[in-house]
Amino acid sequence: MDETEAALIRRCQAGDKEAFEPIVRRYAGAACGAAYVRLGCHDEALDASQEAFVRAWRHIKRFDTHAPFFPWYAAILRNVCIGRLRHRARRRTVSLPDDHRDPSSDGDPVLLAERSERRDRIWRALLRLTPDHREIILMAHFQGMAYREMADALGIPIGTVMSRLHNARQALRERLSEGES
Protein backbone atom coordinates (compact mmCIF):
# COMPACT_ATOMS: atom_id res chain seq x y z
CA MET A 1 0.00 0.00 0.00
CA ASP A 2 1.36 3.43 -0.81
CA GLU A 3 1.95 5.97 1.93
CA THR A 4 -1.06 8.12 0.98
CA GLU A 5 -3.50 5.24 1.24
CA ALA A 6 -2.02 4.06 4.54
CA ALA A 7 -2.33 7.60 5.90
CA LEU A 8 -5.94 7.80 4.71
CA ILE A 9 -6.78 4.49 6.37
CA ARG A 10 -5.28 5.69 9.63
CA ARG A 11 -7.50 8.78 9.47
CA CYS A 12 -10.49 6.51 8.80
CA GLN A 13 -9.53 4.46 11.84
CA ALA A 14 -9.66 7.68 13.86
CA GLY A 15 -13.25 8.19 12.64
CA ASP A 16 -12.65 10.70 9.81
CA LYS A 17 -15.30 9.87 7.17
CA GLU A 18 -13.87 12.41 4.72
CA ALA A 19 -10.70 10.32 4.49
CA PHE A 20 -12.78 7.38 3.27
CA GLU A 21 -13.95 9.23 0.15
CA PRO A 22 -10.68 9.01 -1.87
CA ILE A 23 -10.44 5.32 -1.01
CA VAL A 24 -13.99 4.65 -2.19
CA ARG A 25 -13.38 6.69 -5.36
CA ARG A 26 -10.15 4.84 -6.11
CA TYR A 27 -11.73 1.39 -5.99
CA ALA A 28 -15.33 2.06 -7.06
CA GLY A 29 -14.78 0.88 -10.66
CA ALA A 30 -13.04 -2.36 -9.68
CA ALA A 31 -15.65 -2.94 -6.96
CA CYS A 32 -18.65 -2.50 -9.27
CA GLY A 33 -17.03 -4.70 -11.92
CA ALA A 34 -16.28 -7.50 -9.46
CA ALA A 35 -19.82 -7.36 -8.07
CA TYR A 36 -21.26 -7.37 -11.59
CA VAL A 37 -19.30 -10.50 -12.57
CA ARG A 38 -20.83 -12.25 -9.55
CA LEU A 39 -24.37 -10.83 -9.58
CA GLY A 40 -25.01 -10.09 -13.23
CA CYS A 41 -27.12 -7.02 -12.61
CA HIS A 42 -25.77 -3.49 -12.82
CA ASP A 43 -28.03 -1.95 -10.17
CA GLU A 44 -27.46 -4.78 -7.73
CA ALA A 45 -23.70 -4.65 -8.34
CA LEU A 46 -23.72 -0.94 -7.52
CA ASP A 47 -25.73 -1.56 -4.37
CA ALA A 48 -23.64 -4.54 -3.21
CA SER A 49 -20.35 -2.74 -3.75
CA GLN A 50 -21.61 0.25 -1.73
CA GLU A 51 -22.81 -2.05 1.04
CA ALA A 52 -19.36 -3.68 1.12
CA PHE A 53 -17.73 -0.24 1.52
CA VAL A 54 -20.07 0.46 4.44
CA ARG A 55 -19.11 -2.87 6.04
CA ALA A 56 -15.43 -2.11 5.43
CA TRP A 57 -15.87 1.24 7.20
CA ARG A 58 -17.54 -0.43 10.19
CA HIS A 59 -14.57 -2.79 10.58
CA ILE A 60 -11.82 -0.40 9.48
CA LYS A 61 -10.25 -0.39 12.96
CA ARG A 62 -9.38 -4.08 12.56
CA PHE A 63 -7.58 -3.42 9.29
CA ASP A 64 -3.79 -3.66 9.31
CA THR A 65 -2.49 -0.62 7.43
CA HIS A 66 0.60 -2.56 6.34
CA ALA A 67 -1.60 -4.71 4.07
CA PRO A 68 -3.18 -3.49 0.83
CA PHE A 69 -6.77 -2.29 1.17
CA PHE A 70 -8.33 -3.75 -1.95
CA PRO A 71 -7.83 -7.51 -1.25
CA TRP A 72 -9.42 -6.98 2.19
CA TYR A 73 -12.31 -5.06 0.67
CA ALA A 74 -12.65 -7.65 -2.14
CA ALA A 75 -13.11 -10.41 0.45
CA ILE A 76 -15.86 -8.38 2.14
CA LEU A 77 -17.48 -7.74 -1.23
CA ARG A 78 -17.37 -11.44 -2.03
CA ASN A 79 -19.22 -12.20 1.20
CA VAL A 80 -21.85 -9.55 0.42
CA CYS A 81 -22.38 -11.02 -3.07
CA ILE A 82 -22.62 -14.58 -1.75
CA GLY A 83 -25.22 -13.40 0.78
CA ARG A 84 -27.24 -11.77 -1.99
CA LEU A 85 -27.02 -14.83 -4.23
CA ARG A 86 -28.26 -16.99 -1.36
CA HIS A 87 -31.10 -14.58 -0.69
CA ARG A 88 -31.93 -14.63 -4.40
CA ALA A 89 -31.93 -18.46 -4.39
CA ARG A 90 -34.34 -18.50 -1.42
CA ARG A 91 -36.67 -16.03 -3.12
CA ARG A 92 -36.71 -18.16 -6.26
CA THR A 93 -39.05 -20.54 -4.46
CA VAL A 94 -41.74 -17.89 -4.88
CA SER A 95 -40.76 -17.36 -8.52
CA LEU A 96 -39.90 -13.72 -8.92
CA PRO A 97 -38.94 -13.23 -12.57
CA ASP A 98 -36.34 -10.50 -11.93
CA ASP A 99 -34.41 -12.74 -9.56
CA HIS A 100 -33.72 -15.29 -12.27
CA ARG A 101 -31.48 -12.79 -13.96
CA ASP A 102 -28.36 -14.38 -15.34
CA PRO A 103 -25.25 -12.31 -16.10
CA SER A 104 -25.38 -13.38 -19.75
CA SER A 105 -28.78 -11.71 -20.19
CA ASP A 106 -27.39 -8.27 -19.33
CA GLY A 107 -23.84 -8.57 -20.56
CA ASP A 108 -23.23 -5.11 -21.95
CA PRO A 109 -19.48 -4.61 -21.50
CA VAL A 110 -19.85 -0.98 -20.43
CA LEU A 111 -17.82 -1.71 -17.32
CA LEU A 112 -14.71 -2.53 -19.34
CA ALA A 113 -11.83 -0.16 -19.99
CA GLU A 114 -10.15 0.02 -23.43
CA ARG A 115 -12.79 -2.01 -25.17
CA SER A 116 -12.30 -3.86 -28.45
CA GLU A 117 -14.43 -6.33 -30.38
CA ARG A 118 -12.34 -9.24 -29.08
CA ARG A 119 -12.55 -8.09 -25.45
CA ASP A 120 -16.29 -7.50 -25.71
CA ARG A 121 -16.73 -11.07 -26.97
CA ILE A 122 -14.57 -12.45 -24.15
CA TRP A 123 -16.61 -10.45 -21.61
CA ARG A 124 -19.91 -11.82 -22.89
CA ALA A 125 -18.50 -15.36 -22.97
CA LEU A 126 -17.18 -14.89 -19.43
CA LEU A 127 -20.62 -13.95 -18.17
CA ARG A 128 -22.03 -17.18 -19.57
CA LEU A 129 -19.73 -19.33 -17.42
CA THR A 130 -20.75 -20.97 -14.16
CA PRO A 131 -20.42 -18.80 -11.00
CA ASP A 132 -17.31 -20.73 -9.84
CA HIS A 133 -15.59 -20.23 -13.17
CA ARG A 134 -16.53 -16.55 -13.37
CA GLU A 135 -15.17 -16.00 -9.90
CA ILE A 136 -11.81 -17.67 -10.44
CA ILE A 137 -11.24 -15.77 -13.69
CA LEU A 138 -12.19 -12.54 -11.95
CA MET A 139 -9.65 -13.23 -9.21
CA ALA A 140 -6.85 -14.44 -11.49
CA HIS A 141 -7.11 -11.84 -14.23
CA PHE A 142 -9.07 -8.77 -13.14
CA GLN A 143 -7.72 -8.81 -9.59
CA GLY A 144 -4.29 -10.30 -10.39
CA MET A 145 -4.30 -12.77 -7.49
CA ALA A 146 -1.69 -15.54 -7.20
CA TYR A 147 -2.78 -19.17 -6.73
CA ARG A 148 -1.99 -19.10 -3.00
CA GLU A 149 -4.06 -15.93 -2.52
CA MET A 150 -7.00 -17.46 -4.40
CA ALA A 151 -6.74 -20.67 -2.38
CA ASP A 152 -6.83 -18.68 0.86
CA ALA A 153 -9.71 -16.47 -0.29
CA LEU A 154 -11.82 -19.38 -1.52
CA GLY A 155 -10.88 -21.79 1.27
CA ILE A 156 -9.81 -24.51 -1.18
CA PRO A 157 -6.51 -26.37 -1.78
CA ILE A 158 -4.07 -24.85 -4.24
CA GLY A 159 -4.45 -27.93 -6.50
CA THR A 160 -8.17 -27.17 -6.78
CA VAL A 161 -7.37 -23.59 -7.76
CA MET A 162 -5.08 -24.94 -10.47
CA SER A 163 -7.69 -27.31 -11.93
CA ARG A 164 -10.61 -24.87 -11.52
CA LEU A 165 -8.78 -22.06 -13.28
CA HIS A 166 -7.71 -24.38 -16.07
CA ASN A 167 -11.27 -25.67 -16.50
CA ALA A 168 -12.61 -22.11 -16.42
CA ARG A 169 -10.24 -21.04 -19.20
CA GLN A 170 -11.15 -24.10 -21.26
CA ALA A 171 -14.85 -23.39 -20.76
CA LEU A 172 -14.25 -19.80 -21.83
CA ARG A 173 -12.49 -20.98 -25.00
CA GLU A 174 -15.46 -23.23 -25.74
CA ARG A 175 -17.92 -20.38 -25.25
CA LEU A 176 -15.86 -18.20 -27.54
CA SER A 177 -15.69 -20.84 -30.25
CA GLU A 178 -19.49 -21.34 -29.97
CA GLY A 179 -19.87 -17.63 -30.59
CA GLU A 180 -17.60 -17.77 -33.65
CA SER A 181 -19.37 -20.75 -35.26
- Chain residues that interact with another protein, rule: CB under 8 A: 17, 20-21, 24-25, 28-30, 32-34, 46, 50-51, 53-55, 57-59, 62-64, 67, 71-72, 75-76, 78-79, 82-83, 86, 110-114, 118-119, 122-123, 137, 140-142, 146-147, 155, 162-163, 165-166, 169, 172-173, 176
Nearer Cβ to another protein, position 104 or 160? Answer: 160
Taking the complex as a whole, how short is the minimal distance between the CB of residue 27 and another protein, in angstroms? 10
Nearer Cβ to another protein, position 8 or 123? Answer: 123
| Helix or strand holding residue 87 (H, E) | helix 69-91
Q: What is the dihedral of CA 167, 172, 173, 175, to 10 degrees?
A: 130
Taking the complex as a whole, how short is the minimal distance between the CB of residue 25 and another protein, in angstroms? 5
Nearer Cβ to another protein, position 97 or 128? Answer: 128
Closest CA to 13 of 66, 88, 71, 87: 66
Taking the complex as a whole, how short is the minimal distance between the CB of residue 114 and another protein, in angstroms? 7
Nearer Cβ to another protein, position 1 or 104? Answer: 1
Closest CA to 62 of 5, 9, 18: 9
Taking the complex as a whole, how short is the minimal distance between the CB of residue 98 and another protein, in angstroms? 21
Distance of CA 131 to the CA centre of its chain: 11
Taking the complex as a whole, how short is the minimal distance between the CB of residue 70 and another protein, in angstroms? 11
Q: How far apart are CA 143 and CA 117, in angstroms?
A: 22
How far from 86 is each of 37, 83, 91, 117, 145, CA to CA, in Å?
16, 5, 9, 34, 25
